[in-house]
């Protein structure tokens, strides 16, 4: 505790020498866990534009047994996008409760079709069973969870196969479930990428070597917002809600109520275009305010190749911040929420400027990995160009990276102590966090491009305590997505988090809300502001367990 009290007054050069807790460590358990998925982007000599972008991963409890399961998104054949062999299928692995998993894809009926990109988890019909939305180059799909271990493809009935632009289905990458109008029904936001046709794309080369083209050669697309009609169907409200007026090359999507007005807002990481921040105006429409809010560009007014994004409170002030990954020489910008609708880039001050300048990042997350009460930063790294070593002193694969939150506004790269398997370079893409064995430590699953997926068990050893909140909405949406939570510890310090599944790149994380409690064995108070506007307060809640909380409804 003395070290923590002294930290704000220590010179920057001394921060790296201060160790708050035991090292954050991970053990890669994919083989012994039985997770045998290998992604396939169908790489070709022509270097088609979607090939480097597969794919997302989801952690969610599809069968309601209390243990999170894993879903991987896969690619398909190129350029026809019509190959249907097993090597191109998405895969669902059921958790066996002992850190092993069983492939149940065929029984569940979620293998999917088309050239997959990302996945978003949400219970759109409030039946208590999480459903799957899969984005794709050529056909988005919505799988309804039947509650008996199977899913039904309801894409056509629901009307969410994909927005149409210039007569073609738009190429979709990221997606997020969001109750934007607080009517108790989850709506769907889809980030679309660029206008691309395999038959007309230009050949691109560097030093005589064929490479993936710069995204600037492709025109952007508008994003799509679907309003939930409450009868299993959706209506595209992109135009009337003000979303369609702002095209981009959307990759990652994250949701939070950044100004605490009771309505969730949306941030989109765009590839080689300014980031977008859609401010929710009373649940009726959105204004794109990224430039005015200070999050459109990186330091120096530079556009970045935005990949992944997370939107959570890093500094325990009750204000969600924005962190975006990009490619080498661009850094990973961190935008600190100043309140009053304004952000300030905090990358250099947080110790992330030089630290990330030589990195290429895809999925990312703000998550407390050592349960000390401060959210750390994770990034799944890899270069975009598969043959980059031919003309640069760089490698295609890069290691996973963790920046520990020092609780002082600064972060420290602690990857060197995370364990040897965690540091092995890979072509990392989508990544999701969740507590796979319910031990209170957040585990990690990574989708590796044209390689074996990786499951990392969090093996961090310390005396810190924790809590997972499993929310059930009544007046609000059943999953409680959008609920804002303030946890007060016995010493009076506070932590903040909110319920969401969408973060990083094209991925979906455990919907249970995680808190590290540090030395505290109990939460003195937990205050939940539900999307319905109902405020709930629980007191003296014991930690080191999963706490199930149901939204109270007056008069019931």
For range 414-422, the mean pLDDT: 97
* Strands ordered across the beta sheet of 26-28: 26-28, 454-458, 443-448, 428-434
Beta bridge partners of 488: 494, 525
**Cα angle at 484 between 478 and 485, to 5 degrees?**
110
* Strands ordered across the beta sheet of 224-228: 172-178, 187-192, 224-228, 234-236
Give the pLDDT of residue 11.
Answer: 35
Query: CA separation (Å) from 147 to 66, 150, 160, 232, 306?
Result: 14, 7, 21, 16, 37
pLDDT tens-digit series, residues 182-227: 999 999 999 999 999 988 899 999 888 999 999 999 999 999 999 9
The answer to whether residue 554 scores a pLDDT higher than 80 is no
Give the pLDDT of residue 77.
Answer: 74
Query: CA separation (Å) from 398 to 217, 337, 415, 426?
Result: 26, 30, 12, 5
Whole-number percent of the chain with pLDDT over 90: 89
Beta bridge partners of 300: none
The answer to whether residue 86 scores a pLDDT higher than 80 is no
Instruction: Report the chain's mean pLDDT, rounded to a whole number.
Output: 94
Pairing relationship of beta strands 101-103 and 535-542 according to DSSP bridges: unpaired
Half-sphere exposure of 69 (CA within 13 A, CB side): 24
Give the pLDDT of residue 80.
Answer: 56
Could you count the other beta carbons within 10 Å of the beta carbon of residue 393?
A: 6
Report CA dihedral (459, 462, 465, 467) to the nearest 10 degrees: -10
Contacts of 366 (CB under 8 A, 6+ apart): 310, 312, 314, 321, 323, 375, 376, 377, 503
pLDDT tens-digit series, residues 354-413: 999 999 999 999 999 999 999 999 999 999 999 999 988 899 999 999 999 999 999 999
pLDDT tens-digit series, residues 284-332: 999 999 999 999 999 889 999 999 999 999 999 999 999 999 999 999 9
Give the pLDDT of residue 76.
Answer: 83
The answer to whether residue 4 scores a pLDDT higher than 50 is no
């Amino acid at each position: 505790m003395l070290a923590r009290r002294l930290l704000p007054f220590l010179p920057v050069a001394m921060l790296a020498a201060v160790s708050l807790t035991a090292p954050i460590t991970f053990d890669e358990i994919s083989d012994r866990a039985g997770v045998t998925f290998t992604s396939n982007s169908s790489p070709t000599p022509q270097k088609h534009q979607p090939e480097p972008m597969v794919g997302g991963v989801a952690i969610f409890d599809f069968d309601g047994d209390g243990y999170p399961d894993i879903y991987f998104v896969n690619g398909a054949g190129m350029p026809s996008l019509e190959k249907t062999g097993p090597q191109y299928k998405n895969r669902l692995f059921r958790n066996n409760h002992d850190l092993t998993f069983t492939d149940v894809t065929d029984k569940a009926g979620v293998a999917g079709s088309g050239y997959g990109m990302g996945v978003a988890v949400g219970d759109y019909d409030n039946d208590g069973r999480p459903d799957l939305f899969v984005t794709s180059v050529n056909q988005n799909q919505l799988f309804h969870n039947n509650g008996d271990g199977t899913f039904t493809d309801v894409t056509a009935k629901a009307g969410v196969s994909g927005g149409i632009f210039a007569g073609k289905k738009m190429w979709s990458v990221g997606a997020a479930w969001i109750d934007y109008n607080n009517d108790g029904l989850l709506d769907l936001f889809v980030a679309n990428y660029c206008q691309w046709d395999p038959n007309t794309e230009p050949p691109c080369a560097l030093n005589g070597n064929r490479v993936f083209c710069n995204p600037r050669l492709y025109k952007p697309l508008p994003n799509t917002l679907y309003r939930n009609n409450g009868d299993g169907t959706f209506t595209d409200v992109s135009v009337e809600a003000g979303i369609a007026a702002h095209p981009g090359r959307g990759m990652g999507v994250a949701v939070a109520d950044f100004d605490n007005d009771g309505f969730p807002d949306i941030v989109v990481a765009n590839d080689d275009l300014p980031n977008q921040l859609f401010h929710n105006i009373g649940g009726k429409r959105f204004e794109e305010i990224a430039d005015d809010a200070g999050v459109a560009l990186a330091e120096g007014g530079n556009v970045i190749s935005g990949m992944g994004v997370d939107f959570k409170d890093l500094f325990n002030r009750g204000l969600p911040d924005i962190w975006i990954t990009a490619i080498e020489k661009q850094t990973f910008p961190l935008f600190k929420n100043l309140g009053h609708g304004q952000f300030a880039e905090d990358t250099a001050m947080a110790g992330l400027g030089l630290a990330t300048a030589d990195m290429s990042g895809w999925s990312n997350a703000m998550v407390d990995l050592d349960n000390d009460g401060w959210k750390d930063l994770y990034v799944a790294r890899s270069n975009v160009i598969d043959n980059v070593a031919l003309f640069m002193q760089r490698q295609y694969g890069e290691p996973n990276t963790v920046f520990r939150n020092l609780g002082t506004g600064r972060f420290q790269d602690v990857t060197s102590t995370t364990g040897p398997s965690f540091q092995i370079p890979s072509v990392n893409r989508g990544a999701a966090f969740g507590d796979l064995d319910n031990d209170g430590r957040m585990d990690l699953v990574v989708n590796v491009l044209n390689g074996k997926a990786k499951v990392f068990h969090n093996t961090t050893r310390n005396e810190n305590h924790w809590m997972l909140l499993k929310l059930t909405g009544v007046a609000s949406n059943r999953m409680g997505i959008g609920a804002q939570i303030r946890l007060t510890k016995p010493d009076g310090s506070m932590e903040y988090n909110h319920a969401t599944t969408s973060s990083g790149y094209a991925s979906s994380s455990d919907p249970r809300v995680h808190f590290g409690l540090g030395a505290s064995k109990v939460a003195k108070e937990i205050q939940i502001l539900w999307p319905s506007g109902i405020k709930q307060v629980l007191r003296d809640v014991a930690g080191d367990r999963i706490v199930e909380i149901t939204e109270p409804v007056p008069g019931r």
